[in-house]
Amino acid sequence: MYDNKTWSGRFNEPMSELVKKYTASIDFDQRLALCDIQGSLAHAQMLTESGILTEKDLTDIRQGMEEIIQLINNNQMNWSIDLEDVHMNVEKMLTEKIGDAGKRLHTGRSRNDQVATDIRLWLREETDIIIQLIADFQVALLTLAENHTDTVMPGFTHLQVAQPVSFAHHLLAYVEMFGRDRERFIDARARINRMPLGAAALAGTTYPICRERTAELLQFDDVCQNSLDAVSDRDFAMEFTAAASIMMIHFSRLSEELILWMSPRVGFIDIADRFCTGSSIMPQKKNPDVPELVRGKSGRVIGHLMGLLTLMKSQPLAYNKDNQEDKEPLFDTVDTLINTLRIYTEMMAGIKVKPENMKSAVLQGYATATDLADYLVKKGIPFRDSHEIVARAVRHAEEKSCGLEDLELSVLQSFNSLIEQDVYEILTPEGSLKARNHIGGTAPEQVLRQIMRWRKILG
């Protein structure tokens, strides 16, 4: 007998409709269907090679699964809530198609190790896509940076003009951040890529299975070494979502800057119209909706991380139904990351830089004051004293509403007699950039080197 519920023999009344709806996961876990089949095919092959299923069973299972894959790909699979989840839906359909071999497929496994394997297979695939998309986004940043190693803009601390940097240097800060994000996903992948299958419900199975063989067929690096841990571990989901949250925070910071830079008050950049929206009431408005939404969406990903951490907190070993709640946050995290990476990569190519506005902001902010202090230090004045001398000069220039470079040499010399004509070179933003010529500095030569380094890494 093959009832709708695989365990219904134990019960003497049907499940309440409300409970059925509440406990079913098919609405969302059908997304795992192809991975579920991939796992089942490897499991069936291993069972056959180990003499647990016959060659005929395997041929039937492969044939049946082929048909189910067609149904899924053509959107013709009739997912039933009575069958609770993707695993039972697929198995029931298989059995309808091929009979007894379909019922034998579940030999030596449980939905507990099955679902844990499915999510890992699915997440591994998505992680690979994300790792590639991050690289694409980094390339988009580099491409924009390439033309701006000599474009000066104010670097800020406390959102006050601090020192000149190049726009390329600023962009490369994000290339570094996203480079670390990419590393984190590569690291996380290593722990995603271990196989729970064979743990069965929680204790292992009495059949002479070969877990290494299934792992090899599914291209897992290793098998999970403890059956209890195998079915209950969701570290990989927490870790993935933590890496995702950190990346979304980087996106949120970049978004905040783009929004600020695009404000007419700042006017450093313009974002192409296709990434902006207008206002229904204010005709003059062009709003940076995409970066704003990305900034907002960082909240939902961080929320999913909190959700998963809380889901796992205090769960006793081994599998608990709580774990069914791991999927939606993971799915939504992956969707948000992939969409954000794609749209941001395109948006970078549509950014128009306004170097004149950046330059005038540098000139207004006494951004080269530190350069003047360093100049005096090189003439033998202790840094703390030169700091004070320059502070007085800045105050004087401020009173005259001009820049340090606009003060006559005699005026500058009144603050310190060691100042000479060559000071004007170091007071320019360009001179200031050029002077910071070491690894990690903003000198065009160094930034160009970094661009080349990243180009090589990203291929």
Point out the residues that are catalytic. Answer: 158, 279
Rounded to a whole number of angstroms, the minimum distance from the CB of residue 67 to ligand ARG is 23
Q: Decide whether 265 or 313 has the Cβ nearer to ligand ARG.
A: 313
C-alpha span between 219 and 28 (Å, rounded): 25
CB-wise, 200 or 393, nearer to ligand ARG? 200
Window 313 to 352, contacts with ligand ARG (CB under 6 A): 319, 321, 323-324
Task: Quote the CA–CA distance of 328 and 83 in Å, as a whole number.
Answer: 19
| Interface of this chain with ligand ARG, residues 11 to 40, rule: CB under 6 A | 25, 29
User: Using the 8-state DSSP alphabet, how is residue 78 labeled?
Assistant: -
Do 435 and 373 form a contact (C-beta atoms < 8 A)? Answer: no
Q: For the chain, what is the radius of gyration of the CA atoms? A: 31
Token duo for residue 115: 């679902």
CA distance 122 to 32: 7
In the bound state with ligand ARG, the residue whose beta carbon lies nearer, of 30 and 50, is 30
Residue 320 or 414 with smaller CB distance to ligand ARG = 320
Other Cβ atoms less than 10 A from the Cβ of 150: the count is 15
State the Cα–Cα distance between residues 373 and 384, nearest whole angstrom: 9
Residue 69 C-beta: closest distance to ligand ARG, Å: 21
Residue type at 340 in one-letter notation: T
Task: Let me know if 354 is exposed, middle or buried by CB neighbors in 10 A (0-12, 13-18, 19+).
Answer: middle
With respect to ligand ARG, which residue has the nearer C-beta, 178 or 319?
Answer: 319
Q: Residue 121 is which amino acid?
A: L
Residue 268's closest CA among 344, 162, 161, 167?
167
**Measuring CA to CA, which residue among 167, 170, 304, 151 is closest to residue 238?**
304
Least distance to ligand ARG, CB of residue 249, Å:
29
C-beta of 23 vs 132, nearer to ligand ARG: 23
- Is residue 117 near ligand ARG by the rule CB under 6 A? no
Coil vs helix vs strand at 339: helix
**Minimum CB distance to ligand ARG, residue 115 (Å):** 4
What's the rounded Cα separation, in Å, for the pair 429 and 114? Answer: 61
Q: What secondary structure, in 3-state letters, does 167-229 show?
A: HHHHHHHHHHHHHHHHHHHHHHHHHHCEECCCCCCCCCCCCCCCHHHHHHHCCCCEECCCHHH
Using CB under 6 A, which of 109, 111, 170, 189 touches ligand ARG?
111
Position among 40, 112, 138, 193 found at the interface with ligand ARG (CB under 6 A): 112
**Binding of ligand ARG by 85 (CB under 6 A):** yes
Question: Quick one: which segment of 111-119, 136-144, 342-350, 388-396 binds ligand ARG (CB under 6 A)?
Answer: 111-119
Q: Which is nearer to ligand ARG, 112 or 450 (CB)?
A: 112
Give the residue, chosen from 52, 77, 115, 363, that forms a contact with ligand ARG under the rule CB under 6 A. 115
The site for ligand ARG (CB under 6 A) is made up of 25, 29, 85, 111-112, 115, 319, 321, 323-324
